[in-house]
Structure 1
Amino acid sequence: MLPSSVKAEYKGLADNENRRRFSKSTFALVLAVMAMVATVHGALWMWAQETMSAPAAINKFPSLSFAPYDPKSDPESGGVTNEAQIRSDMKVVAPYTRAIRTYSSTGGLEYVPSVAAEHGIKVSMGAWVDKSDDRNERELRAVVDLARKNSNINAIVVGNETILRAEQTVDELIKKIQRVKRETSGIPVTTGEIWNIWLEHPELVSAVDFIAVHILPYWEGHPETSAVDQAIIIYNKLRAAYPGKRIVIAEFGWPSGGYNLHRAQPGPMIQAQVIRDFVARAEAYGIDYNIVEAFDQPWKTNEGSVGCYWGLFDGDRNLKFNLAGDITNTRANTNTIIALVIGALLSLTALKMVRPTFGHVAMRVAAANAVGAWLAVVFDYWVTHYFVTGAMFSMALGFILLIPLVFVAMARIDELAAIVFGRAPRRLLAKPAHDPVRAPKVSIHIPAYREQPEMLKATLDAVARLDYPNFECVVIINNTPDPACWQPIEAHCKLLGERFKFLNEPKVQGFKAGALRIALAHTDPEAEVIGVIDADYVVHPDWLKDLVPAFEDPRVGIVQAPQDHRDGKRSVMHEMMNAEYAGFFDIGMVQRNEHDAIVVHGTMVLIRRTALKAGGDWSSDTICEDTDLGLCLLEQGWSVHYTSRRYGWGMLPDTYEAFRKQRHRWAYGGVQIVKKHWRQMWQPEATRLTGDQRREFLMGWFNWLGAESVGVLMAILNILWVPVVAFGGIAVPERILTLPIVATFVIYLVHFMWLYRQRVGIGPVRSIGAAIAAMGMQFTVAKAVADGVVKDNLPFNVTAKGGGKAKKGSDFAAFWETVIAGLLLLGAAVLHMTNYHQVNEINIFKWVLVVQSLPFLAAAGMAALERTPLNDFALWRRLVERIHAALPRRTADVGVPPKVSAD
């Protein structure tokens, strides 16, 4: 732990920092930006509020389809209504209609005529006809009996689209119509069918007293702009075909929700406009008509996504739109308020920003408001749509899984803004301006497990060349029985002199941490600083000279230098891996260092010996003992420093499989660290971590471990969802569960390409290679997280480097990634081929599957690249030379990485 005097000094500095952070000018800047962004956000909502116009509807409709069922019941599955429900619903529609139409005469609907009579409402009584002879008989007897007893029944409709559904032949239906006509006197009898059935069956026309035609342009895919024209055209066709026959448009309507059908777009405002336009035209032409429906029918899931939404009233019996005046979104103001409030709440984090700039604050607050807008849309969808259990579960699960991705996207936007618009980093260690006053002794520890002797010799030779007067080097060979691996190192240490200590420990427990504990036990007592490098690292002579002076500050526990590699030109794959590594050290680590919250990695690291002891020494609780130790020291109040200047170069993993195993180890160790330290993140009294440090570690874990795992889980769930969409007709709400995935991917690409260009300093070709390498690790990280959740104490897998430990196996390294990518692309192809109605949500979902396949394709591509001549830079150089020869006046950037310089 830190000495008490240092703790007091540190606390005083922290208090000063907090006071500076919340200065009046900072507070005013953030509030001003929040107000500005909120104003723009609100203005965008107002601008997006479309206003439509349409003729005013008449005071009372001629007729409305009437299904007086409780919204939670399901008449199609045997549900019935009752007199109380009918009376309640009749009071709702009575001010708006002169007549109603039912589709059945049983199941409680026998009360409808008498209740309607109390309100002076006429009834077109329906008799449901299907393939069940018993039910048909009950319906026909009931409708005849009701017609005899109720004088307000002005028509009987025998069957509803019975011929269309092929539940009766035309002759069978005609016989039923004739029977009802015989058993009732003076009441017109007909049947309800779509318009082409009437045109195709004149014998049916002859059997009925009037034509009850259903004209629903939505189901024919006509756009809303021509729906009324289409209805009038069809009406005129029937008039021309059957002059003198009375024609009633027995169903006309438009859905307020659900999916599009070709060019037909549903929507609440569109429904209002179409129906009001139709009513005006029908009244002007003297057309008898019935509007379908009076009420939304939440149970009607057999008509696709729109079946629930044909009502003038919603399921709670609220009128959906005004019958006169402008047509507006009645929920627009509510949605705007929700979006602004959530955006403001999420923007409050900007009040704690250190050294904020206008651009940085604006982007953070804008991202918060964008999330607020998305959540407002989610809420609006939730309260304006009906869900069966399966749909509710899928939407809730999809929304929950999207939350991590949305917050990761916010974090990436914030990091992008901090680098592009924020202030330059101020905590990065730089070379000392003058020679240090003293040179505390440093003990450099190099653990080695079955390493190639020549590679380790090069590491020792580089240490011997260090421009620092006071150091020793402890080399510990652990669990390496082959004398050919350790005897040359023992001899080389003797050759290099007394500064180099050689240890050969054949039975070390606790992986790398166990070896480092042994090395510490053999360290010179006068050593104040411990340095750790991997066996493959060649260090710069200035490493200790430049970085050890930082320990003159008694608060500093660790000084970390970045990793880098000297063999990126081995192959195209190795260059991609090397570029991917660089982003972590030049982007993420630099930003985390501003909050004293870097991830300590166990090479190129210098540790104060007293801090190491205070932190409990190297722990074997996790296989990432370095990161674990760094977090332990931060929890105790020690400070950690970072430099982005390269002071050492190691070797890249030999193969793609080795690259995957290394990333799996890091991610698995990360899960172990989360399990070990999560309580400290939520208990401020148990640790000295600052709020910024907690945030950086939590977001780091969330961004890396959580987002990758959720990405894989969502991809697998979407694969399972494809048959439901393709063959069940149930898609995913486009604005809620699909577009955010695409938006998150776009943010990822912009973040990656822009920051790699600005911070890492590489061109677009190498940036694309780095992005492919990074995306290709998604499944590996997700598997590591799953392993970390269900498995304890997996072994430490040493990364094969230097060409001596790993060879390309016969198995394809990215087999499962290839399978998942293939299933995602197959799913997209199936959706493309089965989307006969060109539903927008299905098209978007199709492209989401393609986007989700990219990380898996990236892994498969890298694994395949390793096995082909395309992985050889020589091939590309020859290709470029041929291009130069063909175009002698044109130069091209071959994209080959420059030679690594020790400087």
Structure 2
Amino acid sequence: MSFAPYGRDANPDKGEPTTEAQIRSDVEAVAPYTKAVRTYASTGGLENVARIASEKGLKTTVGAWLDMDEDRNAREIANAVDAAKKNANVVGIVVGNESILRAERTPEQLIDTIRRVKREVNVPVTTGETWDVWLEHPELVSAVDYIAAHILPYWEGVPADQVVDRTINIYNRLRAAYPGKRIVIAEFGWPSAGYNRDAAVPGELIQAQVIRDFAARADAQGIDYNLIEAFDAPWKSFEGSVGQYWGMLDADRHLKFPLSGTITPVSYNATAAIALLFGIAFSLPLFRFARLTFTQAAVMAGAANLVGAWIATVTDHWLTHYVIGGNKITFVVSIVLLVPLVIVMLYRVEELATIAFGRRPRRLINNIDGPMPARTPKVSIHIPAYKEPPEMLKQTLDSVARLDWPNYECLVIINNTPDPAFWEPIEAYCRQLGERFKFINLPKVEGFKAGALRVAMEQTAPDAEIIGVIDADYVVAPNWLRDLVPTFEDPTVGIVQAPQDHRDANRTLLNEAMNTEYAGFFDIGMVQRNEHDAIVVHGTMCLIRRAAMVEAGDWSSDTICEDTDLGLSIVERGWKSHYTNARYGWGLLPDDFASFKKQRHRWAYGGMQIIKKHWRRMLPNGGTRLNAAQRREFSIGWVSWLGAESIGALVAVLSLLWAPVVLGLGIAVPQRILTVPIVFCFGIYVLHFCALYRLRVATTPLRMLGAAFAAMAVQFTVAKAVYDGFRYKDLAFARTAKGSWLAGAARAFPALPEAVIGGGLMLSAVALRMTNWHAVVEVNLFALALAIQALPFLAAAFIGWLEGSKYNEFATWTALRTRALALLPGRTAQPLPVGVTVGTSVAERNPAGPQM
């Protein structure tokens, strides 16, 4: 056996010597299984191996390591010669090990050294080289006493069932090439773990079968051989994924498999038990869910057990593999980053199972076009505006004037808008609309929108029981108050929220994609959160009980999402919230992709501010009236949105930084247990998105694809907002970069950072796939993970390109459709009906529709 007597935690590559005690212990460990040992060096304590091995009757082939350090080379040779002279059990000296293969010695230099050693000793002298080197250099054969050939079919990608035949055939080739020359297979082995190399697949059972088969064949044919190696070598992580696992004994000196008798495959009973325990633990919360169906529970339990199996596999890998040094850091960091993604995956599976296989929602308000209630409490509608186009705001006021509700007032609050062109027409229009409409101009108010709404509360009619808030661009349906205000007849209800929708989705493909992406939130997430009374309050189409607002402390300016902050504060005080997915209001979409990203950044950054403000209140003893289900929904909602996007972007950037290491050095490829979860989570994301959109959102497959692009395109924006949330306490405005070509390019193309990162990830994925000469599965998985991680960034880049192209216009697609139809035989293009366009808004499914 190749014999490297170093402890599990030693690292001889750093110059750490071995000790006589370690050598003696390791000789004791191998003595029952071998007749001889081979060393590779004669310094660093290894010069004592021959003497100690003789105590157990083991023959020793002494190695003299040769490299570019001539002083060490001289010591190596001197010690090897000395060991051969002093120890009768030395049966040979191997001068250098693959020195020609590594180009550290020319054949002439090596031959000269061999001849010098031969003159000083009376034992056979050779060198260790791979079998092909021996065939290429017959002059080397003439210089040695015997051929010490290294035959390791793993490195040639040979399947395990062909390894022994391949080795014997190579041995016979050497015999035929050099008849009469003694040949020793000086290295033969198979790794018990690591990555595949073409068709060569490592494994404990495969190692046992290969070595036992080879030993039997070699003994039958009288072939001398040396197995590499005696012990696993944890420090050999530099030799690729298999470098640590060539030992017959593991690093703790336990024999990996029996040398005779039945080979029993590893049972993995402990791993299975861990998987089962974790699966049960993650499934126990199912008993707290009400109204579960069998299929719903089965899907959720299956996902829980799958996560349990993954955790068990990770644990098994940690316990049975040598995870050291940089690999340990990479492994631990990867696991820490993957855990939130796995939590989000479970949450998405739960939502998917609930919607697809669970019972219908019970708390949704469904009172469209209901009769006028007997009691009509007064509603005060507040419309804050900041530099809004007067004509747009007039449309909003017109829709409010048409409300089918007898008892309401409307306060228009213009804040921090000194230009009279914005507010004078609105002041005049409010007088024209009548006494219900009150105009408030606040040239300079602190707190921006929240500050303006606080002033509005001070001027609200004393008898107003309910506060309605809409944005300045929203056109509301006449039945908005008539349908929703009756919900407040329950004195415990504090909030009634209606969804946002938009009336300009037909403008461009980007507008339609944005609108459909918004619809997913309002028709999927909000509906499910409403079942647990844990909706996210947004500052338009919202009705709030005045008493609840006063109790919660009114509008606050310590977050830039004052609406969500106020809604959460109200719910924390025990007030109920209700939601309807019926559309009662239609606003305007962001003007462009940059504005879309800016809006999403504001929401995410405001979310981080709210987390900082409220996270203690999510604890069981947080001093609020939130129940367990509400705390869970709010907490997991934050993790699912902010955590998944930010962790996903961070993992993508780290993967991009790591890709050159894999490409350049061919090492440290992430384990499949670290890349498969990324691929799997992406699969769950796609299934979750497609299935729930088909089940809950009234849209088409093409619009759904556009929504998917829009959702992915803001991943980096959300991640940046999360980062800013940690970095800045109060980010009141977005700083505009000036004075650099990069800033100019970013202004010209709104997705420049995403394009750079996404392009880098995709190019790295392609490069890894194309340079994976040996079809290593882990390399292909890593390339696939890189490609998947590139998609959100490339989606942003694609939208950035689309926005400025003619293909963003429906007219282009209408013309292409007409041209394509004209090319079909017997077909003529039919004009579209008057008033119908290629794109239609999600809002159009509501029969009430925006009235202009």
TM range (shorter): over 0.9
Distance 1:164 1:412, change over 3 A: same
Is 1:358 the counterpart of 2:297 in the alignment? Answer: no
Aligned to 2:739: none
Output the amino acid matched with 2:254.
Answer: N
Cα drift, residue 419 of structure 1: 0.1
CA–CA distance in 1 between the matches of 2:801 and 2:343?
Answer: 33
How do 1:237-316 and structure 2 match up within 5 A? 237-316=173-252
Aligned to 2:742: none
CA–CA distance in 1 between the matches of 2:671 and 2:46?
Answer: 38
Distance 1:810 1:281, change over 3 A: same
CA–CA distance in 1 between the matches of 2:514 and 2:61?
Answer: 74
Aligned to 1:802: none
Is 1:408 the counterpart of 2:351 in the alignment? Answer: no
Query: Retained in 1: the 8 A contact 2:327–2:668?
Result: no
Is 1:94 the counterpart of 2:31 in the alignment? Answer: yes
How do 1:354-753 and structure 2 match up within 5 A? 354-431=290-367, 435-753=372-690
Query: Retained in 1: the 8 A contact 2:495–2:543?
Result: yes
Cα drift, residue 635 of structure 1: 0.8
Deviation sequence 1:669-723 (CA, Å, 0-9, x none): 1111001001111242511111111111111111111111111111111111112
CA–CA distance in 1 between the matches of 2:759 and 2:679?
Answer: 19
Output the amino acid matched with 1:902.
Answer: A
Aligned to 2:741: none
Distance 1:530 1:311, change over 3 A: same
Q: How many residues align?
A: 830
Distance 1:391 1:272, change over 3 A: same
Aligned to 2:840: 897
Cα drift, residue 451 of structure 1: 0.9
Which stretch has the larger CA shift, 890-899 or 568-577? 890-899
Query: Retained in 2: the 8 A contact 1:537–1:651?
Result: yes
Deviation sequence 1:463-489 (CA, Å, 0-9, x none): 111111111111111111222211211
Output the amino acid matched with 1:580.
Answer: E
Match of 2:255, SS state, is: coil
CA–CA distance in 2 between the matches of 1:502 and 1:165?
Answer: 85
Alignment partner for residue 254 of structure 2, among 318, 335, 355?
318
Cα drift, residue 821 of structure 1: 1.3
Which stretch has the larger CA shift, 662-671 or 482-491? 482-491
Is 1:835 the counterpart of 2:781 in the alignment? Answer: no
Aligned to 2:72: 135
Cα drift, residue 77 of structure 1: 2.7
Is 1:126 the counterpart of 2:54 in the alignment? Answer: no
Distance 1:890 1:318, change over 3 A: farther
Output the amino acid matched with 2:13.
Answer: E
Cα drift, residue 622 of structure 1: 0.6
Query: Retained in 1: the 8 A contact 2:135–2:174?
Result: yes
CA–CA distance in 1 between the matches of 2:480 and 2:259?
Answer: 79
Which stretch has the larger CA shift, 253-262 or 701-710? 253-262
Distance 1:817 1:279, change over 3 A: same
CA–CA distance in 1 between the matches of 2:567 and 2:19?
Answer: 70
Query: Retained in 1: the 8 A contact 2:371–2:482?
Result: no
Output the amino acid matched with 1:294.
Answer: A
Cα drift, residue 65 of structure 1: 0.9
Cα drift, residue 833 of structure 1: 4.5
CA–CA distance in 2 between the matches of 1:840 and 1:882?
Answer: 46
Query: Retained in 2: the 8 A contact 1:66–1:294?
Result: yes
Cα drift, residue 570 of structure 1: 0.7
Which stretch has the larger CA shift, 527-536 or 720-729? 720-729
How do 1:159-174 and structure 2 match up within 5 A? 159-174=96-111
Query: Retained in 2: the 8 A contact 1:92–1:317?
Result: yes
CA–CA distance in 2 between the matches of 1:184 and 1:685?
Answer: 82
Query: Retained in 2: the 8 A contact 1:254–1:310?
Result: yes
Alignment partner for residue 336 of structure 1, among 260, 272, 275?
272
Alignment partner for residue 195 of structure 1, among 131, 136, 151?
131
Output the amino acid matched with 2:72.
Answer: R
Aligned to 2:703: 766
Cα drift, residue 760 of structure 1: 0.4
Unmatched runs of 5 consecutive residues or more in structure 1? 1-63, 799-807
How do 1:168-247 and structure 2 match up within 5 A? 168-185=105-122, 187-247=123-183
Query: Retained in 2: the 8 A contact 1:298–1:386?
Result: yes
CA–CA distance in 1 between the matches of 2:351 and 2:552?
Answer: 30
Cα drift, residue 889 of structure 1: 6.7
Output the amino acid matched with 2:690.
Answer: M
What is the TM-score of this pair, normalised by structure 1?
0.89
Unmatched runs of 5 consecutive residues or more in structure 2? 736-744
Identity of aligned residues (%): 61
Deviation sequence 1:616-648 (CA, Å, 0-9, x none): 001111111110011101111110000111111
Query: Retained in 1: the 8 A contact 2:616–2:622?
Result: no
Query: Retained in 2: the 8 A contact 1:662–1:797?
Result: no
Match of 1:686, SS state, is: coil
Deviation sequence 1:781-806 (CA, Å, 0-9, x none): 111111111112222689xxxxxxxx
Distance 1:758 1:127, change over 3 A: same
Cα drift, residue 87 of structure 1: 1.4
Cα drift, residue 779 of structure 1: 1.0
Cα drift, residue 297 of structure 1: 1.2
CA–CA distance in 2 between the matches of 1:132 and 1:500?
Answer: 92
Aligned to 1:858: 795
Cα drift, residue 891 of structure 1: 11
CA–CA distance in 2 between the matches of 1:78 and 1:286?
Answer: 38
What is the TM-score of this pair, normalised by structure 2?
0.94
Cα drift, residue 853 of structure 1: 1.2
CA–CA distance in 2 between the matches of 1:727 and 1:86?
Answer: 37
Query: Retained in 1: the 8 A contact 2:510–2:803?
Result: yes
Distance 1:759 1:352, change over 3 A: same
Query: Retained in 2: the 8 A contact 1:623–1:796?
Result: no
CA–CA distance in 1 between the matches of 2:235 and 2:829?
Answer: 67
CA–CA distance in 1 between the matches of 2:595 and 2:68?
Answer: 66
Query: Retained in 1: the 8 A contact 2:655–2:786?
Result: yes
Match of 2:193, SS state, is: coil
CA–CA distance in 1 between the matches of 2:746 and 2:466?
Answer: 42
Cα drift, residue 763 of structure 1: 1.7
Cα drift, residue 580 of structure 1: 0.3
CA–CA distance in 2 between the matches of 1:132 and 1:480?
Answer: 78
CA–CA distance in 2 between the matches of 1:156 and 1:324?
Answer: 31
Deviation sequence 1:560-613 (CA, Å, 0-9, x none): 011111110011110000000000000000000000000000110000000000
Which stretch has the larger CA shift, 763-772 or 736-745? 736-745
Cα drift, residue 329 of structure 1: 4.5
Distance 1:492 1:325, change over 3 A: farther
Distance 1:468 1:393, change over 3 A: same
Distance 1:326 1:596, change over 3 A: farther
Deviation sequence 1:489-508 (CA, Å, 0-9, x none): 11211121111111111111
Aligned to 1:795: 732
Which stretch has the larger CA shift, 190-199 or 638-647? 190-199
Query: Retained in 2: the 8 A contact 1:191–1:211?
Result: yes
Distance 1:579 1:716, change over 3 A: same
Match of 2:241, SS state, is: helix
Query: Retained in 2: the 8 A contact 1:732–1:738?
Result: no
Alignment partner for residue 876 of structure 1, among 809, 813, 822?
813
Deviation sequence 1:331-374 (CA, Å, 0-9, x none): 61121111111111111111111211111111111111111111
Deviation sequence 1:367-425 (CA, Å, 0-9, x none): 11111111122112222222342221112111111111111111111101000001000
CA–CA distance in 1 between the matches of 2:631 and 2:622?
Answer: 13
Distance 1:454 1:380, change over 3 A: same
